């Protein structure tokens, strides 16, 4: 029943170092909080944040709104919407959270390894979930083994899930609707892969119909033989492999290479 105002973060971590067993925040549960961001376009101001000095922090049952409506910041806020959750520590769990309105930013930014995002509802954001190597080094130099499972991601101007870096990610059982509203690149794909060493990325059991999702899958340079695409609902796209309705960004040769696998191992028309 507490109320806070004018805070940089509602929660963050700090400590002696990621390899120091003393002073590192471990196994902390943050749960049942309703919060609204301040509306400033500042990457240092996510509502919930972990530094590299953290381990197995759990964010649960958070209800986060950003003061925007269709990407426009409401008065009295003057900046642009900021991300809701940013984690730079290892083993973070984000589950059963509701995030709405991060219109020009990522709802969730993951820059730490072994993160799990489950059963969240994300809407009206620029990007839903972005997995990106920490430019400052992160916890172990890479952002690997991220599990994104059972989330509903809707009305994202850009990609619903953006795998910018890392290996051995699992994207499973998510529902994408009206994501990737742009005409090309990562802003046009429900799932976008942008890692040169994807190694064992699994995209399985997701619902990615052609209902507002410009493309189901896009990417830049990645090895399609290291991506498993199976059991996804890709209904509503054509299968001719030439039009923008194929479900795979024709500007990405790697994404187009996945189309044969998609029509064989997924649910298509």
pLDDT (tens digit per residue) in 237-261: 765 444 456 788 888 888 888 887 7
- Residue 116 resides in a domain: yes
- Residue 132 resides in a domain: yes
Which pLDDT belongs to residue 2?
A: 56
- Residue 226 resides in a domain: yes
Which pLDDT belongs to residue 69?
A: 47
Count of the separate structural domains present in the chain: 1
Most confident of 79-83, 101-105, 121-125, 262-266: 121-125
Which pLDDT belongs to residue 254?
A: 83
- Residue 13 resides in a domain: no
Whether 79 shows a pLDDT value over 50: the answer reads no
- Residue 152 resides in a domain: yes
Whether 207 shows a pLDDT value over 50: the answer reads yes
Range of the domain at 205: 27-265
Whether 72 shows a pLDDT value over 60: the answer reads no
Torsion sign across C-alpha atoms 147, 151, 83, 97: negative
- Residue 19 resides in a domain: no
**Average predicted confidence (pLDDT) for the chain:** 79
Question: Could you tell me the pLDDT band of residue 73, with boundaries at 50, 70 and 90?
Answer: very low
**227: which residues sit within 8 A by CB, 6+ positions away?**
193, 198, 201, 202, 203, 258
pTM: 0.87
């Amino acid at each position: 029943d507490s109320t806070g105002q004018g805070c940089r973060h509602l929660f963050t971590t700090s400590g002696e170092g990621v390899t120091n067993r003393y002073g590192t925040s471990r196994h902390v549960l943050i749960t049942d909080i309703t919060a609204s961001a301040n509306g400033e376009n500042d990457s240092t101001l996510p509502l919930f944040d972990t530094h590299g000095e953290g381990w197995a922090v759990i964010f649960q049952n958070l209800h986060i709104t950003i003061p925007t409506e269709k990407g426009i910041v409401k008065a009295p806020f003057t900046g642009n919407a900021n991300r809701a959750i940013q984690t730079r520590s290892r083993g973070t769990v984000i589950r059963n959270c509701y995030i709405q309105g991060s219109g020009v930013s990522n709802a969730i930014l993951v820059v730490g390894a072994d993160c799990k995002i489950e059963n969240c509802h994300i809407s009206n954001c620029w990007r839903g979930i972005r997995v990106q190597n920490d430019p400052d080094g992160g916890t172990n130099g890479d952002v690997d083994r991220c599990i994104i499972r059972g989330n509903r991601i809707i009305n994202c101007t850009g990609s619903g899930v953006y795998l910018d870096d890392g290996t051995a990610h699992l994207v499973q059982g998510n529902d994408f609707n009206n994501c990737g509203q742009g005409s090309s690149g990562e802003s046009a794909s429900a799932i976008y892969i942008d890692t040169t060493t994807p190694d064992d990325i699994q995209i399985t059991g997701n619902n990615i119909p052609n209902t507002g999702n410009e493309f189901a899958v896009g990417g830049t340079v990645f090895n399609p033989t290291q991506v498993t695409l199976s059991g996804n609902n890709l209904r509503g796209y054509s299968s001719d492999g030439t039009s923008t309705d194929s479900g795979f960004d024709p500007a990405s040769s790697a994404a187009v290479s996945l189309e044969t696998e998609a029509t064989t191992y997924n649910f298509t028309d």
